[in-house]
């Protein structure tokens, strides 16, 4: 998603939430979802105590990585160009040369590859510096971001911001591997600016009434990133986006084209207790209006989790025999944590309050999976 950012500095102070979800908590989810959260170590506690400082922390890291790459020389790349020259360079464009009678003027139209710093990667980083400079609180840091922006411009990096799709197809090799941390920081810088672009017009009083796919994906990735970072690698094994296999004994020729896959959001294996937890995040209310009562759980989600758990029995993995399921929803100001146990499987229905403080969100995420706060 790419939305132009024109005047964040003018209204940032007035925007503190999207609906009832504080922007600082969206920043926290973005940090959890990113690889950079794994790098903070000692800074993690201070970040969660003061999530409003996250943009400054990311801006500082982005500036440091850009300065490091400038010192070590930014990566060049070959880009195709068409130009009218006084000498032949690359391939001659015969059609343009003849049509415009360039030879009469001692010129020739050429198509050639040029080694340049004006790559989509460097343009993306420059745009990120400009973007995050508008939301940081520290004035010196904002000036540092703008100074690096100007420095890149003087080095020949243009202001045209590439799309996310252009950057996503960019691959890193051995020669430019040091660019990857810089691009990762730039990506997170853009994400942090994203919530402030809505100018308070989006209301998130009830998640299921809003069409914000980036928020749904953010919730899933944020929860997965949190558990992957916070839970001990010695005691837990965490995997995200794992596909479960149907135990099929026979099938028709065309079934593979239409049979849905079972893809879990998060899988947590407690190696000490020998227990598996399947988590499916849902960005909507945990209950809806029922036919014969005021509130009821969503039956489709219950059937989905039941299929996840029962379909894996008897495949040789003992953890599947008593695995538990957790349907995790966001909430605003209300918490739900209920469960049932049937056929040796516990299915839990829980919420995490995104309007709470960062510390409370952390505690809730650990509590719903039965882990005590350290």
For the chain, the structural domain boundaries read 8-75+119-198, 77-116, 207-367
Measured CA to CA, the distance from residue 15 to residue 221 in angstroms comes to 24
* Cβ–Cβ under 8 Å, residues 294 and 340: no
Query: Quick one: CATH architecture of 207-367?
Result: 3-Layer(aba) Sandwich (3.40)
Q: What is the dihedral of CA 304, 213, 283, 357, to 10 degrees?
A: 150
Backbone torsion region of residue 290, taken as left when φ is above 0, otherwise alpha when ψ lies between -120 and 50, otherwise beta: beta
Angle at Cα 144 formed by Cα 140 and Cα 150, nearest 5°?
A: 140
Measured CA to CA, the distance from residue 135 to residue 56 in angstroms comes to 8
The pLDDT score that the predictor gives to residue 190 is 84
The pLDDT score that the predictor gives to residue 364 is 92
The pLDDT score that the predictor gives to residue 13 is 39
The tally of CA atoms less than 13 A away on the side-chain side of residue 114 is 11
Average pLDDT per block of 10 residues along the chain, 374 residues long? 34 46 80 74 58 82 91 85 90 91 92 88 92 90 94 91 77 80 87 58 46 78 90 91 92 93 94 95 86 86 95 92 95 84 95 87 92 71
The pLDDT score that the predictor gives to residue 88 is 92
Measured CA to CA, the distance from residue 120 to residue 164 in angstroms comes to 10
Residue 305 has phi, psi (to 5 degrees) of -65, -35
């Amino acid at each position: 998603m790419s939305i132009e950012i024109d005047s964040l500095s003018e209204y940032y102070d007035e925007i503190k939430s999207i609906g009832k979800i504080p922007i600082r908590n969206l920043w926290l989810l973005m940090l959890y979802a990113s690889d950079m959260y794994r790098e903070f170590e000692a800074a993690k506690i201070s970040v969660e105590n003061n999530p409003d400082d996250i943009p400054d922390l990311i801006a500082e890291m982005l500036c440091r990585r850009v300065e490091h790459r400038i010192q070590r020389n930014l990566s060049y790349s070959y880009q195709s160009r068409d130009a009218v020259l006084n000498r032949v360079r690359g391939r001659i464009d015969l059609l343009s040369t003849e049509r415009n009678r360039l030879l009469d003027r001692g010129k020739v139209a050429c198509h050639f590859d040029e080694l340049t710093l004006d790559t989509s990667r460097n343009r993306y980083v420059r745009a990120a510096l400009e973007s995050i400079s508008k939301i940081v609180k520290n004035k010196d840091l904002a000036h540092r971001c703008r100074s690096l922006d100007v420095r890149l411009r003087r080095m020949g990096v243009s202001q045209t911001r590439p799309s996310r799709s252009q950057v996503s197809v960019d691959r890193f090799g051995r020669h430019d591997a040091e660019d990857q941390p810089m691009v990762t920081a730039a990506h997170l810088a853009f994400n942090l600016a994203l919530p402030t672009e809505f100018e308070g017009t989006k209301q998130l009083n009830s998640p299921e009434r809003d069409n914000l796919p980036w928020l749904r994906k953010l919730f899933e990735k944020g929860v997965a990133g949190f558990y992957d970072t916070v839970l001990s690698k010695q005691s837990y094994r965490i995997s995200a986006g794992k596909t479960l296999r149907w135990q099929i004994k026979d099938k028709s020729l065309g079934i593979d084209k239409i049979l849905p896959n079972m893809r879990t959001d998060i899988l947590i294996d407690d190696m000490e207790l020998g227990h598996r937890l399947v988590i499916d995040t849902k960005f909507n209310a945990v209950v809806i209006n029922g036919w014969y009562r005021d509130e009821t759980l969503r039956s489709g989600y219950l059937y989905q989790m039941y299929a996840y758990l029962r379909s894996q029995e008897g495949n040789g993995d003992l953890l599947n025999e008593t695995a538990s399921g957790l349907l995790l929803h966001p909430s605003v100001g209300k918490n739900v944590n209920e469960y049932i146990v049937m056929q040796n499987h516990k299915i839990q229905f829980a919420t995490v309050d995104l309007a709470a403080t960062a510390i409370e969100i952390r505690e809730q995420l650990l509590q719903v999976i039965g882990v005590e706060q350290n």
